Structures are given as structure tokens and as C-alpha cells.
Structure 1
Amino acid sequence: MGRVIAIANQKGGVGKTTTTINLAAALAAQDMWTLVIDCDPQGNTTSGFGFPKDPSRRSLYHSLILEVPLTELILPGPAEGIQLVPSDKNLVGANVELVSRAGREHILRERLAPIRDRYNYTLLDCPPALDLLTLNALVAADSVLVPIQCEYFALEGVSELLDTLIRIRRTHNPKLAVEGILLTMFDERTNLSHQVRDDLKDFFGDQVFDTLIPRNIRLAEAPSHGKPVLLYDPECRGSESYIKLAKEVINHDQKGAGARIERSVAGD
């Protein structure tokens, strides 16, 4: 059965899109067929896969609002084993148009249901807001991967998100789990990065991934070339880190009833 993972954090600039793009590529490199759904109206995952903005191209908006099947929207990704449902700016309007819909929180889950088992993994790149697009992603997901930048207010941000996950479990998706908390932009030279890591480990224990995503210039450059870092520079530290993360995710999945996969959201 295919696994659906939402990449979510209401804070911007924490590495959600970078993680979505590069985790997808790393999973594909491990022979895991992966679908990426760009749920963010900014469309950075779409452009990060090499697709320029195109007003004539249909996007996730057309599925959520106009009921176009996702199969009619899928584009080939940058490497074998990756496919993409693109985003565009029309998704901004979807938040408004969905408000009056009955069952509005469940629309993405319904659209995804016919195809989710065609893939080993489906990754949902969420916008930096707790809006209806993010809510749809969290209701459709089996689990949530939370990227956290190594900064002073990191713990405050993740606690707020986990409060939201608790509410979603109670009302819309009782099986929603925390896939893991991922530290991004980790700079081993700074005391702050180490302090944030230690604080998160103390608070969330083994829900924090062992993998640390470093600050890495090649990782930052890759999106401007429309490629995951594994295709841009497969030998750099950023590539190595996302391969390690993919192996962690696969290992958790293969354990089946492992603590992280079946764990309730903290505090539930």
C-alpha cells in the first residue's frame, strides 16, 4: 500500500520545498516510485523540477475545484521514478472557493484515493500556512514530516503545528502520525544549531530524525537549475544527507508497526 507523507510547517523558509524535491529524488534513487503533489500556490516545487510558469498548464487547482482526475495532471519528473502534479497561482483562489464546499477538508484525499497505491510514496508539499490547502494535505496524509530550521524559535513553531495535528486527528484523520521532525540548515560550527538539536531531541525524543540537513551551497543552487541536488551534484553533502533521510523513511515504513509510524501525535 502506498504511503502518503505531507511535508508541513506553517513557518516559511524552513526547507519544506527543498525537502520535498530532494527526498523524492532520493526515494526514487532507492527504487521507490514517488509522486509529488505541489500544494503550494507559489509553485516552487514545480519550478524546482524544471517546469517554468505556464498559465495554460493545468494544475492541482483543476482537480480540487474542477474535479479533473489527478491522472490527467501528472507530469514526468526530472528522473525515472518521480512524477509531479504541478501547482500554479490559481491555488490561491482555491482556499476561498473551497470554503463553501461540503466535506472541503477531504477533497484531496478523495482525488488521491484511486491512484495512491500506484506509488510507493506520495509527497505533499504544503504552503507555509495552516489554511485549507494544508488541511487537505494533512487529512489526505498517513503521516507528517516537519522540517525545522535550526533557529531560536524552532521549538515554538513545531509545538504550534503539533497542536494542529492533534485537532486534525480528533476530527478528520485519526490515523495521522508524525513521520518525523527534520532539522534543516544545520551548521555544525554554531552553538545555536547544536542547542536546537539538543532541545528538540529532549522534547520529542526519537520523533526527531537522525539525519541532519546541512547548510550547503550546492543544495541552495540546485533549484535554479531545475534539478534535485542528487542530479545537480550527487557527491555533495546535501545529496548524501537526503539519501540518508530516504533510507530512514524507508526503514521506518518497513518496520510496519514501528514506533514512529504508529505513534500518536505528541500530546494526544
Structure 2
Amino acid sequence: MTGPCPIVSVSNRKGGSGKSTTVVNLGAEWAARGAQVLVVDLDTQGHAGLGLGLRLAAAHPSAHDVFRAPGFELARAIRPTAWPGLFCAGADPLFEAEGPRELTVLSRALRRPEIAERFDVVLIDTPPSLDFLLLNALAAADGVLVPVLPHALSAEGVRQLSRLFFRIATNENPGLRLIGVLPITMDPRVTHHRTVLDELRRQYGGQRILRGIRKDVALAESFASGQPARAYAPRSRGVLDYHLLADELGTLWPPASALSQRELLA
């Protein structure tokens, strides 16, 4: 592990693969179990913040300020959400990721005591582009969770990310682990979905392909309303699936075991 609290980078090189939806709803699930959860929105589209009902004023510090100013304290960018235990450092939509940059900036910011000792887990929503923001997220993380739509383009994004993953794990962050590949909006009745998932199992091993999140319009509706699905539609399939995902991660990835058990210990 890179610090006292586990850091999860939710990543895929393909946009629109369910990264922000997963960050918001998995974070809300862990927070509902009693964890202190920090969402760090590195994608300049700012979707994770929007999904949590947050809109930053122009003058408010953002997660991207750690890359602008040496020594910037990420804690200044953190805002509480409407849900206990769930916090967000929002994105700056005007931030431009240009040129080669140092890859350990985010790791240092997340290791500071005011972050590492305050939160039980950090979830990073990453951009799909190959730039230093994604590289910083992978260099800071303990584990990578890869959402994937069950079609060919999103699966290619997983393959591109896997090459980047091994590069960072080899050269920058030897503690980095692949937590798993998470199918999103899957439907086992669709032949193409089964074909894509079978190919992913062949490439990464069946134990790396998680049970997945079924198609559920409530996930999109809740995101549009600026709420996690468990607040918007608590009895929906999506909420159940993210609940089961938290349980699954607790059995597959040791740093998440304490998070998944909190509800039982409460």
C-alpha cells in the first residue's frame, strides 16, 4: 500500500465506460457502511462532482490545483456532500494537462496526514486520455478498478490501460495491483456481451472479471439528479449491484476488506 488508507484509481482508456458512475455509487455504498470516503475528481469534465451534487464556484480550489502550485494542500479543495462520510475534491474544467510533468505529485498530496489519517479510502475518477493526470493517479494508487462496457471499443480501452498499468507498476509504483475488471450495463442475454466478456476472461483470468453492474436506467437518472443511486432509487438493481460489488471487493482485495465489513460491525 502507498499510505495508511487505500487508494483506488477507477480507470479505462475509453471514455463513457462507467468510471464516474462507479466512483459515485461505490463511494456512496462504502460511506453508507460507515467509512470516510474521499472522491478525487481528476477528469476535467467534472462528472464525479456533478454526480454528487457539487458545482464548484470559479474561485474555489480544485483537485487540479495540486498540479499548479507546489505544496498545495488538497484538503483545501475537499467539500462535504449531502451524504455523511462522503467527500469530494472537485475538478477544474479549465485545467489544461500539457507537457511532461512529475508523476508523484498526487501521491505526495494524498499521503499528507490531513488526507491519509482522515479518510478510510480514496477513490480517484480519472480521465481517459493518456496524460500526466492518469499517470499520477496510477502512480498514487494501491489498486486499479477498470469499468468496461461489454463492447469491443471499451474492451480495447482495457487493453490500452493494461499496457500503461504494467509500465507504471514496473517503473513507478511496484505496489500497484489490478483489483478487477468491472462489466457495466451488462446483459448476459446479449450474444455480443457474452463474447466480449469471454475474451476478457481469456486475457485477464476469470478471477479478475467481477460480477458486474446490470443495465439500470436509475443509475443514469440518479446521476442526472446529482445523487448516488442509493439516495435516488434505493431499491433499484444498480444499488443492489454496487452493494454486492463492495462485498466482492472485500473478499478479493485485502485493503477493501475492512470497508466491506463495517456494516456488519456497526
In structure 1, C-alpha distance between the alignment counterparts of 2:110 and 2:151, rounded to whole Å:
35
Whether the 8 Å CA contact 2:151–2:193 is kept in 1: the answer is yes
* Correspondence for 1:78: 82
User: d(CA) in 1 for partners of 2:53 and 2:255?
Assistant: 34
Cα deviation per residue 1:61-103 (whole Å; 9 max; x = unaligned)? 2222123201111100231111111112132x2x22x63x5xx
Aligned match of 1:39 in 23, 37, 42?
42
Are the aligned partners of 2:184 and 2:215 in contact in 1 as well (CA < 8 Å)? yes
Matched residues in 2 for 1:181 and 1:255: separation? 17
Structure 2 residue identity aligned to 1:24: G
- Could you tell me how far apart the structure 2 residues matched to 1:128 and 1:175 are? 22
- Residue in structure 1 matching 2:51, options 48, 51, 66: 48
Helix, strand or coil at the partner of 2:212: strand
Q: How many angstroms does 1:53 deviate by?
A: 4.8
> Structure 2 regions of 5+ residues with no counterpart?
258-266
Number of residue-to-residue matches in the alignment:
250
Q: Secondary structure at the match of 1:12?
A: coil
Letter in 1 for 2:140: A
**Cα RMSD (Å):** 1.8
Deviation at 1:13, TM superposition (A): 0.8
Partner AA of 1:113 in structure 2: R
Instruction: Work out whether residues 17 and 154 of structure 2, in 8 Å CA contact, stay in contact via their aligned partners in 1.
Output: no
Greater displacement, 245-254 / 138-147: 245-254
Hey, what does 1:3 align to over in structure 2?
6
Structure 2 CA distance, aligned partners of 1:153 and 1:85?
30
Q: Verify: 1:120 aligned to 2:120, yes or no.
A: yes
Tell me the TM-score normalized by structure 1.
Answer: 0.88
> Could you say which residue in structure 1 is the equivalent of 2:161?
161
TM-score, normalised by the number of residues in structure 2: 0.88
Which residue of 60, 64, 85 corresponds with 2:63? 60
| Aligned equivalent of 1:266 | none
Shift of 1:30: 2.1
Structure 1: 5+ residue stretches without partners: 258-268
Return 227-236 or 167-176, whichever deviates more: 167-176
1:246 positional shift: 1.2
CA shift digits 1:189-243 (9 cap, x unpaired): 311112222222222221111x221111101111111101111101000110011
> In the alignment, which residue of structure 2 is the partner of 1:110?
108
Q: Kindly, what percent of the aligned residue pairs are identical?
A: 32
